[in-house]
Amino acid sequence: MEFKEFTKIYEVSNQDISREVYRNNQNTIRIKKEITAVNNLEKIFNAVFYISYKKGFQAMSMRDLSQKTGMSLGSLYAYFKGKNDLLGIIQTQGWAIIKKDIEQVSKSHEAPLEKLKAVIKAHIFLSELFRPWFFFTFMEARNIAAVKSMEDHTQKILTDILVAGEKQDVFKPGNHHLTASIIKAMQQEWYLKQWKYKKLNVSVDQFADHLVGMVEAFCLV
Amino acid sequence: MEFKEFTKIYEVSNQDISREVYRNNQNTIRIKKEITAVNNLEKIFNAVFYISYKKGFQAMSMRDLSQKTGMSLGSLYAYFKGKNDLLGIIQTQGWAIIKKDIEQVSKSHEAPLEKLKAVIKAHIFLSELFRPWFFFTFMEARNIAAVKSMEDHTQKILTDILVAGEKQDVFKPGNHHLTASIIKAMQQEWYLKQWKYKKLNVSVDQFADHLVGMVEAFCLV
DNA sequence: GTCTATACGTGGATAGAC
DNA sequence: GTCTATCCACGTATAGAC
């Protein structure tokens, strides 16, 4: 599967995400008109990602955010209770995006190798589609327990596939936990070092294929 | 080479680092007695790493730092001009540690495969020895141009080895820039996700060997 | 729903005693 | 060299007009 294909199957836009956030937080968001709210939420998220990418969420002031969105300080506080609340909203949503996807993909395919390839690629493609969410979640949430448990969760999926593959004599024996962990690291690389791959002129598809190639070389009997 | 061996060859302690920092910054540091200065600098760095690991450097207040070091606010400012200055000092030193090592190691060995293994392992071992410095540098300096150029630099060393190996028919042809980049990502994993490998009970040596195994499987003809 | 004006607290930094 | 006390700016958050 290539990235283009993936985007057609996985039809979710940034607007959809903002709408989801709006509906999940209608109790705290003071805006009544959905269209207005969704549009502004999108503006807010983009601004947060932009500023946080450069200097981190903590260093971003509400005045920064006000300037970048073009909205006043007062308006912003109609969309979230406080800066900390905003952080929580983004993290929760980022988490939801990742979780939903992984579960979906890991159910498709049966053969271990095909399954492994599909899971690896799906995660990279998803992180490409929502790169700012992934980057932000990684950078700003590092020590939250929730994030660690999510890492464990997604890693377990990979480990299970490797173990199943070994039983079917498709994969070599070895420390599958460790292999799974390193695969995860390689996937993360794509959204953590975007600037590098832009400079190297490497596309998502190239990156994903290269990574799959490395995993195959190491795991296959 | 194993980690134990490495530590014997590379005989540098945290004290040595603090002393280096002291000597490099004698113009701005107001303390005259070296012993006092070096001891307190070490305390300061450890405190910075501890607090920043949990909430990031920006979120760390000078009062946090004062409490954790047991030194007063006033005293702290005798060691650096300001919070921003402190950040710069740590980053510069972190950078120096990495740079010095890599250059040293890349000169040893001649055969591409041996050289590749040595460079990969040395970096992992070094990052283990000075893990807080590496973690801090990665997390707090992500978008500084200096850091990007350093990434390029260390990556180039790996790329060159791969290219040389291909010419000697030891390594398969391929996108060596991309491979080098992914190797770097795998190395970084060791100090970025320390908590995970502690939980998995994976030692530095195991990790390094596993990684070398993956690279060999992929690169060797 | 969005704005401006403003209150209030926190945090970086310094002065000056010891 | 280190401390306490204090200054001042900046940033979060709210009130209330439009």
* pLDDT, position B109: 81
- Stretch B83-94: mean pLDDT: 96
Q: Which of A27, A56, A89 is the last residue of a domain?
A: A89
Q: Both tokens of residue A172?
A: 């070599």
Taking the C-alpha atoms of residue B166 and residue A92, their distance in angstroms, rounded to an integer, is 46
Structural domains in chain B (count): 2
Q: Residue A206 domain-assigned? A: yes
- Stretch B193-202: mean pLDDT: 96
Model confidence at B127, pLDDT cuts 50, 70, 90, reads very high
Task: Domain of residue B154: give its range.
Answer: 3-9+92-219
Res B142 pLDDT > 80: no
Report in angstroms the alpha-carbon separations of A103 from A123, A218, B201. 11, 25, 27
Gap from B53 CA to chain A (nearest CA, Å): 8
Alpha helix positions (H), chain B = 3-9, 14-24, 34-55, 62-69, 73-76, 83-107, 112-129, 131-140, 145-167, 176-192, 194-200, 204-219
- Stretch B140-151: mean pLDDT: 84
Q: Using a 7 A cutoff on CB, list residues near strand C.
A: A 30-33, 36-37, 40, 70-75, 78; B 60-63, 73-74, 77, 81-84
User: Are A76 and A124 in the same domain?
Assistant: no
Optimal mutation site among A139, A210, A211, A215, interface B, most CBs of chain B within 10 A? A210
Measured to protein CB atoms, the chain D nucleotides within 7 Å are 1-6, 10-16
Model confidence at B130, pLDDT cuts 50, 70, 90, reads very high
* Nearest nt by C1' to A79 Cα: C1
Chain B residues contacting A via beta carbons under 8 Å: 53-56, 58-59, 139, 142-143, 148, 151, 174-175, 177-179, 181-182, 185-186, 188-189, 192-193, 195-197, 200, 202, 206-207, 210-211, 213-214, 217-218
CATH number at residue A54: 1.10.10
- Stretch B142-169: mean pLDDT: 91
Q: Residue A63 domain-assigned? A: yes
User: Are A98 and A71 in the same domain?
Assistant: no
* pLDDT, position A119: 93
User: Are A120 and A153 in the same domain?
Assistant: yes
Taking the C-alpha atoms of residue A213 and residue A188, their distance in angstroms, rounded to an integer, is 17
**Among all residues of chain B, which has the CA nearest to that of A53?**
B143
User: Are A33 and A134 in the same domain?
Assistant: no
- Measured between beta carbons, the chain A residues lying within 8 angstroms of B187 are none
- What is the enclosing helix (H) or strand (E) of A105? helix A83-107
User: Are A134 and A215 in the same domain?
Assistant: yes
Q: Residue A4 domain-assigned? A: no
Which has the closest alpha carbon to A187: A137, A141, A134? A134
User: Are A108 and A208 in the same domain?
Assistant: yes
Residue whose CA is minimally distant from D10 C1' = A61
pLDDT digits (tens, 9 = 90+) for A11-36: 899 999 999 999 999 999 999 999 99
Under-50 pLDDT residues of chain A:
none
Q: Which of A89, A120, A146 is the last residue of a domain?
A: A89
Res B216 pLDDT > 80: yes
Give B84: exposed, middle or buried? Use CB within 10 Å, 0-12, 13-18, 19+. exposed
A77 CB neighbour count, 10 Å cutoff: 15
Torsion sign (Cα): B202, B206, B208, B211: negative
How much of chain B exceeds pLDDT 90, in percent? 85
User: Within a 13 Å sphere around the CA of B185, how many CA atoms are in the beta-carbon half?
Assistant: 24
- What is the enclosing helix (H) or strand (E) of A161? helix A145-167
* Nearest nt by C1' to B40 Cα: D1
User: Are B160 and B212 in the same domain?
Assistant: yes
Q: Which of A65, A89, A113 is the last residue of a domain?
A: A89
Cross-chain Cβ contact B185/A193 below 8 Å? yes
User: Are A100 and A199 in the same domain?
Assistant: yes
Q: Both tokens of residue A185?
A: 């690291």
User: Are A116 and A201 in the same domain?
Assistant: yes
Q: Residue A2 domain-assigned? A: no
Taking the C-alpha atoms of residue A219 and residue A18, their distance in angstroms, rounded to an integer, is 40
User: Are B32 and B101 in the same domain?
Assistant: no
Q: HEC profile for B78-141?
A: CCCCCHHHHHHHHHHHHHHHHHHHHHHHHHCCCCHHHHHHHHHHHHHHHHHHCHHHHHHHHHHC
Residue whose CA is minimally distant from D3 C1' = B72
CATH number at residue A162: 1.10.357.10
* Nearest nt by C1' to A29 Cα: C1
Provide, in whole angstroms, the distance separating residue B32's CA from nucleotide D5's C1'. Answer: 26
Gap from B189 CA to chain A (nearest CA, Å): 6
User: Are A30 and A81 in the same domain?
Assistant: yes
What Rg, from alpha-carbon coordinates, does chain A have? 19
CATH number at residue B67: 1.10.10.60
- Measured between beta carbons, the chain A residues lying within 8 angstroms of B148 are 195-196
- Measured between beta carbons, the chain B residues lying within 8 angstroms of A179 are 210, 214
- Measured between beta carbons, the chain A residues lying within 8 angstroms of B145 are none
The angle at the Cα of B131, spanning B126 to B134, to the nearest 5 degrees, equals: 85
Model confidence at B217, pLDDT cuts 50, 70, 90, reads very high
User: Are A140 and A81 in the same domain?
Assistant: no
At A138, the amino acid letter reads F
Residues in chain B: 221
